[in-house]
Structure 1
Amino acid sequence: MLERVGLTTGLIIFFITGYFSVGLSRDPADARELAVSLDAQIPFVAQSIWVYLSLFPAALIPLFVVRCPRLLRRTALAYAAVIATSLVCFMVFPVTSAKLRVPPTILDVTRPSDWAVSLLYSVDPPYNLFPSLHLSIAVLAAFSAWKAAKLYGAVMFIGVSVVAVSVCVIKQHFLLDALSGIVLAAVLGTLLLLPYQPESGVTPGYSWRGPVTYIAFLIFVYAGLYISYLSTL
């Protein structure tokens, strides 16, 4: 338990410190746009924000489904590697979604979805886009879940495909951001997670209680968001 707490705390601190330090220090004049013609054709769908927000609790899925300490350590290493690689990319190749995002004036914050989009835009700086780090971590979580139990991984990969759409229709990422995030995670997942094999007698994943506990955690997260929305009315 202490190891799980230590690994999780360290990764959260690494992610938050690095992500916001880089994002808030970028000079808009140095940032690029990676728009392709298809980006302009993708509609803005405010309701997809609820799918997008699942990226954050999804990063914690290995805590609920991975039982084997060796697999959890490999997962933590993969997370650290993708975070470090992404931070370097953010610094040397800054990309901005400032013009991609919908204007705040068209968002009606009295509506739950518009309020959530406005919250995302205000909290998350319009940088740190290429590759999509949030999507990379979600893909690695799916790899980890797959090694814990094929069923868990299959469900997670389906969820990631839906999330990949949401990062584009919420106008938070360009298509190239999403694709590069998936590729980065695929490479690191193949190198660090796929080679894992459980030792004899070791069960790599938790039983059904793990996913059920995660679902309860997810409900708690969304309930907190909805209560926050109600407090603004």
Structure 2
Amino acid sequence: MHVLSTQFDRATPFIPFFSVFYFIWYPFLLITLYLILQQKKSAYYQTLVAVCFGILVANFTFLIYPTFVPRPQLGPGWNFFVPITYRLDEPYNGFPSIHVLTCYLMLRGAGILPKWSRLAVAVMAWLIILSTLFIKQHVIADMAAGIALGEIVFQITGRLIKERQQPLSHESAVES
């Protein structure tokens, strides 16, 4: 089991309030995907396929490179959501962070949205990404890997979507 925590991670403050943003992740994904779908179907498909592909790659990574994130001891009076988060989301296999991966993909997919929607998605995505660090659910390496993986799968799926949208030439249609 690998521990990727650095001095910077240990110096990052524990801010229980950010667990609220960590919990908003599920509705955030659904709402953002819906907004993207309403704006442009090809962007929706690219984003959705990137999410699925990214999660598959992340889960494969968990198998070959298991990690552990040290957590603070919780005392009485902590935010309501932190103990629930810790119970539901074990401190194992966080490299890359799926929360960060999917939030980054929502940011990329939201590029086609109107300015104010794009801004709302960006603010919420970054609050969720920061929440993974502030509630000590992930470390910087998990975040960086989630963003890097997100960019890679978004680029790959963009190429795949673009290739599928290319009209067939007469010759290639005859060959098929």
TM-score of the two chains, using structure 2 as the length reference: 0.81
Which of 121, 128, 134 aligns to 2:99? It is 134
Tell me, yes or no, if structure 1 residue 181 matches structure 2 residue 134: no
Among all aligned residue pairs of Structure 1 and Structure 2, give the percentage whose two residues are the same amino acid: 22
- Gaps of at least 5 residues in structure 1 are 1-30, 200-233
Letter in 2 for 1:137: T
Q: Which residue of 1 aligns with 2:3?
A: 33
Q: Could you tell me whether the CA contact under 8 Å between 1:82 and 1:188 is conserved in 2?
A: yes
Aligned residues: 161
Distance, in Å, in 2 between the alignment partners of 1:156 and 1:196 is 23
Tell me, yes or no, if structure 1 residue 101 matches structure 2 residue 71: yes
Tell me, yes or no, if structure 1 residue 71 matches structure 2 residue 43: yes
Distance, in Å, in 1 between the alignment partners of 2:106 and 2:158 is 10
SS at match of 1:136: helix
Distance, in Å, in 2 between the alignment partners of 1:82 and 1:168 is 20
SS at match of 1:125: coil
Q: Could you tell me whether the CA contact under 8 Å between 2:67 and 2:94 is conserved in 1?
A: yes
C-alpha distance after superposition, 1:24-67 (max 9, x if no partner): xxxxxxx1100111111111111111122222222211123422
Distance, in Å, in 2 between the alignment partners of 1:193 and 1:147 is 13
Distance change >3 Å, CA 39–CA 89, structure 1 → 2 = same
Structure 1 segments, 4+ long, off by >3 Å, are 148-151, 193-197
Letter in 2 for 1:130: F
Distance, in Å, in 2 between the alignment partners of 1:34 and 1:149 is 38
- Gaps of at least 5 residues in structure 2 are 166-176
Which of 33, 37, 45 aligns to 1:62? It is 33
Deviation (angstroms), 1:193: 4.0
Q: Could you tell me whether the CA contact under 8 Å between 1:139 and 1:185 is conserved in 2?
A: yes
